[in-house]
Amino acid sequence: MKATGIVRRIDDLGRVVIPKEIRRTLHIRDGDPLEIYTEKNGEVIFKKYSPVGELSDFAAQICEALYKTGECVSAVCDRDTVIACAGVPKKELVDKRLSGGLSEIMDSRKLYTAAGKTELPLAEGESILCVSVAAPIVTEGDVMGCVAFAAKQGAPEPNEVQVKLATAVASFLGKQMEG
């Protein structure tokens, strides 16, 4: 564990403020769920909670089906990282931080399809795979992640099957996380 040198007091309602610098570094936004762990030695650990991450095994199976049907690299992402993928080795994408552009697409809550040639990177530092389709996963009004198809930079526009698959699977995953 890394010490920050920052000390905060708990208020009379049991609240503690997580400093802005830490929230920015860890990409913690207003309303993000945090999971709380305790250690025997008295440590309290806050971890960003990902409802999509809870479905990682299921998401991996879905990605395999999407890859076979859509004939294109597929990925299921939470708000920050790639949770599962198919069509490329998992070590290339899984747990990689999403590109800023893909995060903006999710924030817009709209289906994205690459117009013309694909140019938007899927993950930070990714120079080969770009987003061709991204459908946000929405649960109870909140964006939880997205279902994406990716192709090599400069690949042609996605086909209708890929667009419909991404939309349908994103809707299905959103329903699975409700309640």
pLDDT digits (tens, 9 = 90+) for 118-162: 789 999 988 789 999 999 999 888 888 999 999 988 888 899 999
Query: Whole-prediction pTM value?
Result: 0.77
Per-residue b or e along 45-67, where b marks 16 or more CB atoms closer than 10 Å to that residue's CB: eeebebbbbebeeebbebbeebb
Q: Indicate the residue type of 53.
A: G
pLDDT band, residue 55 (cuts 50/70/90):
confident
Residue 6's Cβ-side half-sphere holds a number of Cα atoms within 13 Å equal to 11
